[in-house]
A and B are shown apart, each in its own frame.
Chain A
Amino acid sequence: MSERWETVIGLEVHVELSTKSKIFCACSTEFGGRPNTHCCPVCMGLPGTLPVLNRKVLEYAVRAGLALHCDIDRETRFDRKNYFYPDLPKAYQISQLYRPIARNGYVDIGAKRIRIHEMHMEEDAGKLIHSEYEHETYPDYNRAGVPLLEIVSEPDFRDSAEVLAYLEKIRSLFTYLGISDCKMQEGSMRADVNLSVRRAGETALGTRTETKNINSLRAIEHAIESERSRQIHILSGGGAVVQETRHWNDDLKTSTAMRSKENAPDYRYFPEPDLPVIFIGEDFLQAARDSLPEFAEERQARFVEQYALPPKDAARLTVRRETAELFEAVVSRGAEARHVANWLIVHVPHVLKTLSENAEDIAPDPSELAELIRRTESGTVSRADGLRVLEALLSTDGPFRVSDYIRERGLSVNNDESALEEVIRRVIEANPKAVNEYRSGKTKAIGFLIGQAMKDLQGKATPATVRERMEAALET
């Protein structure tokens, strides 16, 4: 058992595109909805209907292909994949086999390069709802015709950490492109794992299996570990791995054989006669190239350089494109970069958590956020009040001017200088012992005095302002 084994993994990732309408008809792609309400004759495959390609899907696919450093096929076309299943209304899926939109790409995860074999466009199937009460199954075609990209990697992964990093990278690229939200829990990103093992040092690939129905990152880790052990166990005992498709059961944390290679269906792919060949012109391609955003990694490096941020902060700010863009927008409106970074990394997520809001759903006005950060950090608004304003800004109360909000609620300490002077004078008078200690060099004693003043001011001044005024008063 002391033999060393190498795991070889290839991935087939399905990503649902976030176009408003389906790939071959005008139906909504919105998630949810009562069964069979986002359907029309075309996506139900009724007799006589024909598909017409949604141009947005092509546009998204080309941008995705470019982001994955693929060659774009200038004469791409669709093929039919034929099989019978009740969730497949036409009994064929319109997909791409012979001329996929993109080939020969790669994704770098750290220092490692994962090669992309090909990426193609296809339509999703519906789903089957099994009745709890009767022996009945009902098809729901709301998802039928939702556009998908399938990305097929080369067998370049050696462990689950690489697989997870790759999925994270695709998620980052595609969310930056704004073409998918890539949520595994909602099924908008799914992965099938092709895995084989071989003894360390061997160069030939072992017999592989394909594991399907993996619905979370955690499940991918488990599924890889489980399949790896299963194959090593078989091979160590002198057995042979059977080439087959396996079904992952996440509750039991184990997979079961679905069908062997011999029983693999013959999909009888052939060119889809209802859709003409798509010729991709140079203009279209150039427009797609021009539309590519600065992706997370490049942007992270630039943030470190341009804003002198610690790499860790730059990384956190660039996970989501929206966060990164908000950061730059706020900075450009006069707030200091390190303050903005701190607010976006610490305060905003904290407030969102207390509001139980999703980061995706908020888009504060950058000018107002800049104003708030500036005022709070300069001490003209106390931190506690600043956070309260932030909460209002991020909750769905509707837009307001931060300056108005502060004035109306008397949150600014600026306009009550005399009150501050008065309190400081009183605290100094009432605490001669601490004052003497401070003046004799025990400067730490000022903390006590500030605390007393803050108590009297009931949080209406920032500690920084109080400290500043207190020091000034004690010097004289």
Chain B
Amino acid sequence: MDILDLTAVELGERIRKRELSALEALEAVYGACRARDRNWNAYAAFEIDPARTAAQRAQALLDSGEAVSPLAGVPVGIKDNLNVRNCLTTCASKILRGYRAPFDATAVRKLKDAGAVPAGTLNMDEFAMGSTSETSCYGPVRNPWDRERVPGGSSGGAAAAVAARECVCALGSDTGGSVRQPASYCGVTGFKPSYGRVSRYGLIAYGSSLDQIGPLARDVRDCAALLDIIAGPDPMDATSIPFPDTRFLDALNGDIHGLRVGVPEECFGDGVEQDVQTGVEAFLDELKRVGAELVPLRLPFLRYAVPVYYILATAEASSNLARFDGVKYGFRAERYTTIEDLYTRTRSEGFGKEVQRRILLGTFVLSSGYYDAYYNKALKMKQMIMDGFAEAFRRCDVIALPVSPTTAPALGSSLSDPLKMYLSDIFTVPVNLAGLPGLSVPCGFDRRGLPIGAQLLGASGADATVLNAGYAYQLATDWHKRRPEGLEVSGNV
């Protein structure tokens, strides 16, 4: 058996038992990337030297008995928007071409402290803006289940790499579904923690009030093990929240007897592909079979989520991305006359189309005369959505719904119609607006053989409850163990 078919926890166990070293695990990942990644383009860069250094340090921690994490020695892919000290960190954007982070993101530092090994940076939609991973300056990522389809986005590289056995597990980021949706399209497990659970320090911001770092992995156990490492309040992030300390991996017991699972009627029916609906309904049946109680819900406010999200996220993005001006680091236009000209040319040449579109949208909704009509109204709606969920969680413990109304669309079919692409975020963005934990688990395949994902949500702070529900499901099913065929065949590129 290929060690890259192991889960991260299994691989960690073998490393602890000295069946292989941290360095050997890293070399296996690096080898797979070298040999096969031209098929999927899942990696933005794989700088092997710093990864080897990290692996050696991890091995030393293991040898001295200091590394106690189940993931000590395990390589972890890192989305290209997380700062890894001295490594390229570019958000898949030309404007950050060649930029090397001078410090580790808190989540990355915690990985290193736990003896896990940051290994390679993963491709993504430019600045995490997109649902297809096609807007990267490194070219589109492809779906390991079907090369002509997108892997989802924005953490598409992470999801594809885990699915294609080019890495064991990864850290992505989720602003409006960017962990959960690609996990769903690629048949892997992805988790967005409660807002504030994981420090955002070192995550290059898209929408600051919505961004959250989250794991993508083979199964719920791996996600819990990663969360154990990266969670916790951080003095460097004023928005991190001191939730009561939980050992997420230890908390998984698979017992969901009496768990009340809310089923929002808005999320089943019109606009949802038949196969997706069938798959998620089977998911609900399975939860019921293993002891959960289904509670019908109405969440009428969900239909406001997409416009509210695109106002708030783009407003924050227009400000967050203003610092990329060609003055201090990254790309600068070659020819310019005045300082204004330097800004204009650098940003016009350095940002891709989708990023420019969202910066313009965000700039517009914040401009004088429109602020109240858009931004302020959206803030009020956000509060309404939070209140709506809080109300719903009085009647249930978790909420189950599809991750996306469809399975992975064909390459090139989404960008031509951005509005359609935005609307497909309907089931993921409300979760970010309300700051809730959200889990995406594979729950079947459509008639074309593409993975379907089911989503479980919890109240803010109820991350362990959500993970345990997903774990109970994975104990009873094996969708998460399915592997795309023909991974070893080198594609024609």
A52 at the interface (CB under 8 A from B): yes
Q: Are A41 and B103 interface neighbours, CB within 8 A?
A: yes
A80 at the interface (CB under 8 A from B): yes
* In the complex, chain A residues 355-396 whose Cβ is within 8 Å of any chain B Cβ: none
Q: Are A274 and B83 interface neighbours, CB within 8 A?
A: no
Q: Are A52 and B105 interface neighbours, CB within 8 A?
A: no
* In the complex, chain B residues 342-373 whose Cβ is within 8 Å of any chain A Cβ: 343, 363, 366-368, 371
Residues of A within 8 A of B236 (CB): 50, 52
A92 at the interface (CB under 8 A from B): yes
Residues of B within 8 A of A51 (CB): 238
CB 8 Å contact bits of B101-120 with A (1 = contact, 0 = none): 11101000000000000000
> CA–CA, A86 to B340, complex, Å?
10
Q: Are B327 and A47 interface neighbours, CB within 8 A?
A: no
Q: Are B367 and A268 interface neighbours, CB within 8 A?
A: yes
CB 8 Å contact bits of A234-276 with B (1 = contact, 0 = none): 0000000000000000000000000000000010111101111
Residues of B within 8 A of A84 (CB): 322, 325, 340, 343
Residues of A within 8 A of B339 (CB): 86
Which of these, A44, A270, A275, A276, contacts B319 with CB under 8 Å? A270
A53 at the interface (CB under 8 A from B): yes
Residues of A within 8 A of B368 (CB): 266, 268
Shortest B140–chain A CB gap in Å is: 23
Q: Are B239 and A92 interface neighbours, CB within 8 A?
A: no
Q: Are B327 and A86 interface neighbours, CB within 8 A?
A: yes
| A50-B238, A275-B238 given; A270·B322 CB < 8 A | no
Binds A, one of B16-24, B198-206, B454-462: B198-206
B181 at the interface (CB under 8 A from A): no
Q: Are A139 and B327 interface neighbours, CB within 8 A?
A: yes
| A84-B322, A274-B238, A275-B238 given; A48·B202 CB < 8 A | yes
What is the chain B residue whose CB lies nearest that of A47? B204
Residues of B within 8 A of A41 (CB): 102-103
A37 at the interface (CB under 8 A from B): no
What is the chain A residue whose CB lies nearest that of B102? A41
Which of these, A92, A271, A275, contacts B322 with CB under 8 Å? A92
Q: Are A273 and B201 interface neighbours, CB within 8 A?
A: no
A414 at the interface (CB under 8 A from B): no
> CA–CA, A92 to B318, complex, Å?
11
* In the complex, chain A residues 23-71 whose Cβ is within 8 Å of any chain B Cβ: 41, 44-53
> CA–CA, A50 to B320, complex, Å?
11
CB 8 Å contact bits of B310-341 with A (1 = contact, 0 = none): 00000110110011110111000000000110
A91 at the interface (CB under 8 A from B): yes
Q: Are A270 and B238 interface neighbours, CB within 8 A?
A: no
Residues of A within 8 A of B343 (CB): 84
Shortest B282–chain A CB gap in Å is: 39
> CA–CA, A49 to B102, complex, Å?
11
Residues of B within 8 A of A48 (CB): 82-83, 89, 101, 103, 105, 201-205
| A53-B238, A92-B322 given; A270·B315 CB < 8 A | yes
Interface centre among B238, B316, B366 (most CB of A within 10 A): B238
Shortest B59–chain A CB gap in Å is: 28
B65 at the interface (CB under 8 A from A): no
Residues of A within 8 A of B235 (CB): 52
> CA–CA, A93 to B203, complex, Å?
20
Shortest A92–chain B CB gap in Å is: 5
> CA–CA, A156 to B201, complex, Å?
45
| A268-B366, A273-B316 given; A47·B201 CB < 8 A | no
B309 at the interface (CB under 8 A from A): no
A216 at the interface (CB under 8 A from B): no
| A44-B328, A273-B316, A274-B238 given; A266·B367 CB < 8 A | yes
Shortest A130–chain B CB gap in Å is: 12
> CA–CA, A45 to B202, complex, Å?
11
| A44-B328, A274-B208 given; A268·B363 CB < 8 A | yes
| A50-B200, A268-B363, A273-B208 given; A45·B238 CB < 8 A | no
Q: Are A268 and B319 interface neighbours, CB within 8 A?
A: yes
- Please tell me the number of chain B residues within 8 Å of chain A, measured between CB atoms: 45
Shortest B161–chain A CB gap in Å is: 22
Which of these, B96, B99, B239, B318, contacts A274 with CB under 8 Å? B239
Shortest A214–chain B CB gap in Å is: 25
Residues of B within 8 A of A92 (CB): 319, 322
Q: Are B328 and A89 interface neighbours, CB within 8 A?
A: yes
Residues of A within 8 A of B340 (CB): 84
> CA–CA, A472 to B372, complex, Å?
91
Which of these, A47, A269, A271, contacts B83 with CB under 8 Å? A47
B375 at the interface (CB under 8 A from A): yes
> CA–CA, A346 to B244, complex, Å?
64
> CA–CA, A45 to B330, complex, Å?
13
Q: Are A276 and B105 interface neighbours, CB within 8 A?
A: no
* In the complex, chain A residues 60-101 whose Cβ is within 8 Å of any chain B Cβ: 80, 82, 84, 86, 89-92
Q: Are B96 and A270 interface neighbours, CB within 8 A?
A: no
B414 at the interface (CB under 8 A from A): no
What is the chain A residue whose CB lies nearest that of B207? A273
* In the complex, chain A residues 420-473 whose Cβ is within 8 Å of any chain B Cβ: none
> CA–CA, A435 to B323, complex, Å?
91
Shortest B342–chain A CB gap in Å is: 9
Q: Are B238 and A46 interface neighbours, CB within 8 A?
A: no
> CA–CA, A268 to B317, complex, Å?
13
B209 at the interface (CB under 8 A from A): yes
B237 at the interface (CB under 8 A from A): yes
Q: Are B366 and A270 interface neighbours, CB within 8 A?
A: yes
> CA–CA, A268 to B236, complex, Å?
26
Q: Are A91 and B371 interface neighbours, CB within 8 A?
A: no
What is the chain B residue whose CB lies nearest that of A266? B368
Residues of B within 8 A of A91 (CB): 319, 322-323, 325
Residues of B within 8 A of A86 (CB): 325, 327, 339
Which of these, B89, B239, B319, B371, contacts A80 with CB under 8 Å? B319
Residues of B within 8 A of A82 (CB): 318-319, 322, 366
CB 8 Å contact bits of B173-188 with A (1 = contact, 0 = none): 0000000000000000
Residues of A within 8 A of B91 (CB): 47
Residues of A within 8 A of B319 (CB): 80, 82, 91-92, 268, 270
> CA–CA, A10 to B367, complex, Å?
27
> CA–CA, A268 to B360, complex, Å?
13
Shortest B355–chain A CB gap in Å is: 14
Residues of A within 8 A of B363 (CB): 268
Residues of A within 8 A of B323 (CB): 45, 47, 89-91
Q: Are A276 and B239 interface neighbours, CB within 8 A?
A: yes
What is the chain A residue whose CB lies nearest that of B104? A48
Q: Are B238 and A52 interface neighbours, CB within 8 A?
A: yes
Interface centre among A44, A48, A52, A276 (most CB of B within 10 A): A48
> CA–CA, A91 to B239, complex, Å?
21
Residues of A within 8 A of B322 (CB): 82, 84, 90-92
> CA–CA, A84 to B237, complex, Å?
25
Residues of A within 8 A of B379 (CB): 271
> CA–CA, A84 to B323, complex, Å?
8
What is the chain B residue whose CB lies nearest that of A44? B328
Query: Which 8 residue pairs across A and B have the least CB separation, nearest first?
Result: A91-B322, A268-B366, A273-B208, A273-B209, A48-B202, A47-B204, A48-B83, A48-B204
A-B contact pairs, 14 of them (CB 8 A): A41-B102, A47-B204, A48-B201, A50-B200, A91-B325, A139-B328, A266-B367, A268-B367, A270-B366, A273-B207, A273-B239, A273-B316, A274-B239, A276-B238
Task: Supply 8 further A-B pairs (C-beta < 8 A) apart from A49-B201, A89-B328, A273-B207.
Answer: A47-B99, A48-B101, A82-B322, A84-B322, A84-B340, A92-B322, A270-B316, A274-B239
Residues of B bordering A, CB below 8 Å: 82-83, 89, 91, 96, 99, 101-103, 105, 200-205, 207-209, 235-239, 315-316, 318-319, 322-325, 327-329, 339-340, 343, 363, 366-368, 371, 375, 379
Residues of A bordering B, CB below 8 Å: 41, 44-53, 80, 82, 84, 86, 89-92, 139, 266, 268-271, 273-276
